[in-house]
Amino acid sequence: MPGTIKTEIKPTGKNEGLSTQLSTQLLKGTTKLPKSVLVQPKRSFRVIYGDLERLPHRVRHYVEENARLCQPDSIHICDGSDKENDLLMYILQKDGILKRLPKYDNCWLSTTDPADVARVEKKTFMSTKLKRDTIPTPKHGADCQLGNWMSLEDMDNALNMRFPDCMKGRTMYVIPFSMGPVGSPLSKIGIELTDSAYVVASMRVMTRVGSKVLGVLNDEEFVKCLHSVGSPLPLSRPIHNNWPCNPQNTIIAHIPHRNEICSFGSGYGGNSLLGKKCFALRLGSILAKKEGWLAEHMLILGIENEKGQKKYIAAAFPSACGKTNLAMMNSSLPGYKITCVGDDIAWMRFDSSGKLRAINPEAGFFGVAPGTSMKTNPNAMKTVKSNTIFTNVAQTSDGGFFWEGMEDEISKSVTIESWLGDKNWSKEDSEGKPAAHPNSRFCTPAAQCPIMDPAWESTEGVPIDAIIFGGRRPKGVPLVYEAMNWQHGVFMGAAMRSESTAAAEHAGKVIMHDPFAMRPFFGYNFGDYLKHWLSFQDKPNLQLPRIYHVNWFRKDANNHFIWPGFGENARVLDWVFRRCDGEDSADMSAIGYVPKQGTLNLSGLKEEVDLKELFSLPPDFWRDEVVAIGKYFDEQVNQDLPPQILDELEKLKQRVAAL
């Protein structure tokens, strides 16, 4: 690999980027670099779009130092214009990375290297001086399941082995982006440098991008986001599907004290669109803890009843467990109208009157394609019919898209080309291989969703009345239950478990612990995160939202979902809504409040639902569950577990023993 170096770089502790550190060490003569890095004539950079001189001073410095480090052929400073988008699309087509889906307006398909299809949790690291700032110390030398830590020194070595010269022959794009509405006091700005035009095109959808962002940046703080596909030109190894990447050397690195993210080797989703999980959740959660707010893996929805009364709800489900679907649902329960504020990330803070307010820092949806259909999520289907980039879905011979779940929505006469390029894909002849990758996605502008909430871009955020946790639990966990109080609710979040999905590299459907749906996204020690959540109950004058747990995914003995889900989930939201208004519609159970008989509105439900099975609390299941949660807390959170959480576990254990 060109530019591979092994060097001892000592962290300076200053707020400096990777390449500043390299040059500092060079001056001190403590490091040896290859010629290409050492000989850095003060040449002017080949800027092919935009004007370096007009960048705020610190942005320019960040761009120049990384251009010196990564040695791109040229630099393109994104302005966010339509002209720029035309140029990007031209380049992406020419390079064979995108092709048009002519059935729709401005829709595009990309199929990746099959080795680069999801987030890579094992290669995602936080780097801090003290390990315990990032992760709890597991008991008995067990591997930590609550994040990966790397020392500052090892991280610098890892980065210095990868980034020098990594953009040779490619263009470095400079993307100024805002998480949250441009100029909002709650918004934060990042600058992503990337050698992937696909990332630029996607960031333009997922965030607010371009000159307008620089206009509000002045010379203030921004998050430094460096991304490379790790495949300089000329290529040193074969490339698949015209999708440059470097799976062997992939690393997604976060260095909070430098306000920096460095991602190498993957072009996919959360690995490369650095505003999303890396910034808005991992670095975001650290900032939130420091400043007294919350950065969460949550959808935000509005729900209005027939009387015109409205509430907002935030909900945390693990990846590929139903956030997008709930956030955009059409209520099957007449009288209710759902509106969407966001489908993946919520930044929330208590306002001066004690109300929790949430903004969606994103501007687009990077949604799971399979399972999305006119039946399950018509609003998503309408959203993606224009200006959308699809990744790893299948295509139809009439120029459309296809994925599992759309069988009834394509003409019988079309043929299907699978994401892997099987031109005559059919369910029968494909040996179980799906047409679309299970983690295939649409990347589509939020503003196009027909049910966006009028306040979705409000700068002060929407007021949150309820928080819902949930997961994929095929057994034992009822459709809905309510926490007894804030502390019990925090325990419920901590105790979340869910079946693994294709959103990351986990194989097979195992039940994993996924506290707060944040396991892959914690920026700091989960024990401290719990203390942060608990701290709100000690603050007077806060109107703490009620907390719930839901499970749409319970299965019967025939392996069928008991609950129809999707639009029918409005029936659960209706119960939550009424509970928030103080309705006496709940009975206490061993695990929390459950709907009193007859209070879950099932009128008009098309299929019979076995409510008894849906709400049953099998004693053996719950005793095992308590043991599993206890073991997890003990082994994984260990010394960092707040005593209140242990206390809640003990109380649950006693209640469950009496089942």
Task: Say how many CA atoms lie within 13 Å of 433 toward its Cβ.
Answer: 16
Comparison of 503 and 591: residue with beta carbon closer to ligand SPV: 503
Choose, by CB under 5 A, the member of 343, 344, 465, 528 that binds Mn ion.
344
**Shortest Cβ distance from residue 206 to Mn ion (Å)?**
12
Amino acid at 368: V
Give me the 318-337 binding string for Mn ion, x by CB under 5 A, dash otherwise. Answer: -x------------------
Tell me if residue 347 falls in helix, strand or coil.
strand
Comparison of 5 and 327: residue with beta carbon closer to ligand SPV: 327
Cα distances (angstroms) measured from residue 601 to each of 181, 316, 326, 493, 584: 37, 23, 18, 26, 14
Instruction: Please give the distance of CA 599 from its chain centroid, rounded to a whole number.
Output: 34
Tokens 């019979």: give the residue: 608
371: partner contacted, choices ligand SPV, Mn ion, ligand GTP, none (Cβ within 5-8 A by kind): ligand GTP
State whether the Cα torsion 125-131-136-138 is positive or negative. Answer: positive
Region near ligand GTP per CB under 6 A, out of 75-83, 101-109, 282-290, 565-573: 565-573
Choose, by CB under 6 A, the member of 565, 611, 614, 646 that binds ligand GTP.
565
> How far is the C-alpha of 574 from the C-alpha of 576, rounded, in Å?
5
- Residues numbered 406-425 forming contacts with ligand GTP, rule: CB under 6 A: none
- Bridge-based pairing of strands 171-179 and 208-209 is antiparallel
Nearest alpha-carbon partner for 2 in 32, 33, 30: 33
**Shortest Cβ distance from residue 112 to ligand SPV (Å)?**
12
Choose, by CB under 6 A, the member of 164, 367, 378, 489 that binds ligand GTP.
367
Residue 566 interacting with ligand GTP (CB under 6 A): yes
The token duo for 408 is 């009834």
Choose, by CB under 6 A, the member of 223, 503, 530, 573 that binds ligand GTP.
503
250: partner contacted, choices ligand SPV, Mn ion, ligand GTP, none (Cβ within 5-8 A by kind): none
Comparison of 170 and 472: residue with beta carbon closer to ligand GTP: 472
Comparison of 445 and 642: residue with beta carbon closer to Mn ion: 445
Nearest alpha-carbon partner for 366 in 258, 264, 276: 276
Give the residue closest to ligand SPV by C-beta. 270
Say which residues have a Cβ less than 8 Å from residue 102's Cβ, sequence separation at least 6: 399
- Bridge-based pairing of strands 74-77 and 47-49 is parallel
**Shortest Cβ distance from residue 317 to ligand GTP (Å)?**
5
Comparison of 67 and 206: residue with beta carbon closer to Mn ion: 206
Give me the 368-397 binding string for ligand GTP, x by CB under 6 A, dash otherwise. Answer: x-xxx---x---------------------
**Shortest Cβ distance from residue 203 to Mn ion (Å)?**
16
Region near ligand GTP per CB under 6 A, out of 2-10, 123-131, 323-331, 417-425: 323-331
Amino acid at 207: T
Nearest alpha-carbon partner for 378 in 445, 447, 325, 414: 325
> How far is the C-alpha of 307 from the C-alpha of 343, rounded, in Å?
26
Comparison of 461 and 520: residue with beta carbon closer to ligand SPV: 520
> How far is the C-alpha of 278 from the C-alpha of 270, rounded, in Å?
7
Residue 343 interacting with ligand GTP (CB under 6 A): yes
119: partner contacted, choices Mn ion, ligand SPV, ligand GTP, none (Cβ within 5-8 A by kind): ligand SPV
Region near Mn ion per CB under 5 A, out of 285-293, 344-352, 410-418, 569-577: 344-352
Comparison of 90 and 561: residue with beta carbon closer to ligand GTP: 561
Comparison of 167 and 288: residue with beta carbon closer to Mn ion: 288
302: partner contacted, choices ligand SPV, ligand GTP, Mn ion, none (Cβ within 5-8 A by kind): none
**Shortest Cβ distance from residue 319 to Mn ion (Å)?**
5
Comparison of 162 and 571: residue with beta carbon closer to ligand GTP: 571
Tokens 């990032």: give the residue: 134
Say which residues have a Cβ less than 8 Å from residue 592's Cβ, sequence separation at least 6: 481, 482, 483, 484, 488, 492, 549
Contact 180, 187 (CB under 8 A): yes
Of the candidates 321, 340, 443, 449, the residue annotated as catalytic is 321
DSSP code of residue 567: G
Residue 561 interacting with ligand GTP (CB under 6 A): yes
Contact 571, 491 (CB under 8 A): no
- Residues numbered 463-482 forming contacts with ligand GTP, rule: CB under 6 A: none
Contact 126, 281 (CB under 8 A): no
**Shortest Cβ distance from residue 186 to ligand GTP (Å)?**
22
Region near Mn ion per CB under 5 A, out of 168-176, 338-346, 461-469, 612-620: 338-346
370: partner contacted, choices Mn ion, ligand GTP, ligand SPV, none (Cβ within 5-8 A by kind): ligand GTP
Cα distances (angstroms) measured from residue 82 to each of 88, 230, 449: 10, 28, 21
Residue 325 interacting with ligand GTP (CB under 6 A): yes
- For 265-298, strand residue ranges (E) read 294-296
Q: For the purposes of burial, counting CB atoms within 10 Å of the CB of 634, is it exposed (0-12), middle (13-18) or buried (19 or more)?
A: middle
Contact 593, 482 (CB under 8 A): yes
Comparison of 256 and 269: residue with beta carbon closer to ligand SPV: 269
**Shortest Cβ distance from residue 345 to ligand GTP (Å)?**
9
Residue 521 interacting with ligand GTP (CB under 6 A): no
> How far is the C-alpha of 368 from the C-alpha of 392, rounded, in Å?
11
**Shortest Cβ distance from residue 503 to ligand SPV (Å)?**
4
Residue 436 interacting with ligand GTP (CB under 6 A): no
Comparison of 366 and 456: residue with beta carbon closer to ligand SPV: 366
State whether the Cα torsion 189-194-196-197 is positive or negative. Answer: positive
Helices (H), 475-592: 486-494, 526-535, 570-580
Total residues binding ligand GTP (CB under 6 A): 23
Active site residue 321: yes
276: partner contacted, choices ligand SPV, ligand GTP, Mn ion, none (Cβ within 5-8 A by kind): ligand SPV
DSSP code of residue 592: S
Q: Which residues of 549-570 are buried (b: 16+ CB within 10 A; e: fewer)?
A: bbbbbbeeeeeeebbebbbbbb
Task: Say how many CA atoms lie within 13 Å of 130 toward its Cβ.
Answer: 6
Binding site for ligand SPV (CB under 6 A): 119, 269-270, 276-277, 319, 344, 366, 503
269: partner contacted, choices Mn ion, ligand SPV, ligand GTP, none (Cβ within 5-8 A by kind): ligand SPV
Contact 556, 613 (CB under 8 A): yes
Residue 85 interacting with ligand GTP (CB under 6 A): no
- Bridge-based pairing of strands 99-100 and 401-402 is unpaired
Point out the residues that are catalytic.
321
Binding site residues, ligand GTP, CB under 6 A: 317, 319-325, 343-344, 367-368, 370-372, 376, 503, 552-553, 561, 565-566, 569
